[in-house]
Amino acid sequence: MKTKIIAHRGASKYAPENTMPAFELAYKIGADGIETDVQLTKDHVPVLIHDENVNRTTDGAGYIKDYTYHELKNLDAGAWFSKKFQGARILSLDKFLKWVENKPLYLNIELKNNKIDYRHLESIVYERIVHYQLLNRTTISTFNPNSIKRMKRYNDKLEIAFLASKSFRNLIDTVTELGGNAIHVKYSLLHKKLAAEGKQKNIPLRVFTVNRKMRIVRCLHYKVEGIFTDVPDKALAIQKYIH
């Protein structure tokens, strides 16, 4: 099994995260997949942005939940990163999925509902993935245990990953008890036993966010299902050298 190199928020080391320039660059580089984050607007449009507010990555201020999608579209989501990207916009999930539709990319869509538990986020995102016929190559991930339980109702075949940034006892068993069937862990939680247990129990294990050379190498040696990285070009070069 070849470890998937997944561009974290797109090629986010080189372009503003979760924007079309970052996604297009990740695709051009040759990443196996793209990870992105979904929040919900005031008018229930799923949009791609990591933070619950727009303060860090746009020229606006305030919470996503207090904006309509039309209002969000007027914000600049690129200038904070570099003048080169001035004018980049916050994307709707629909625009992103339409762009992905005919490209051979694996998708990881993270529901950002651990701080604000958006009502109906799971059903809205699931419906859009079904609409674009992308279920067979999409993983839905979340830090929210209740969200895992809600997602499980929609489709037994859907891959639902629990995100873990802190240690749990019997982590993989905990995930399966919640209804998840994949696990995404912070790099500091990765160890050989966990990687082996994931394979034994047929639970895909992916690791975030892996940018340093030795960490990439370690993940590749453990043959994890995938790594999330801001530098997909670097990870792909290391993978090619190792293999």
Q: In the 8-state DSSP scheme, what is residue 175?
A: H
* Catalytic-role residue among 8, 120, 184, 243: 8
Kind of pairing between the strands at 138-142 and 205-208: unpaired
* Catalytic-role residue among 50, 184, 191, 221: 50
Q: Which of 195, 186, 31 is nearest to 100 (CA)?
A: 31
Q: Are the C-beta atoms of 158 and 182 separated by less than 8 Å?
A: no
Q: How far is CA 204 from the centre of its chain?
A: 15
Active site residue 120: no
- Cα–Cα distance measured from residue 163 to residue 145, given in angstroms and rounded to the nearest whole number: 9
Q: Are the C-beta atoms of 205 and 189 separated by less than 8 Å?
A: no
- Alpha-carbon radius of gyration of the chain: 17
Q: Which of 92, 91, 100 is nearest to 24 (CA)?
A: 100
Q: In the 8-state DSSP scheme, what is residue 188?
A: G
Q: Which of 164, 204, 225 is nearest to 5 (CA)?
A: 225
- What six digits make up the tokens of 17? 């995260």
Active site residue 50: yes
Q: Which residues are catalytic?
A: 8, 50
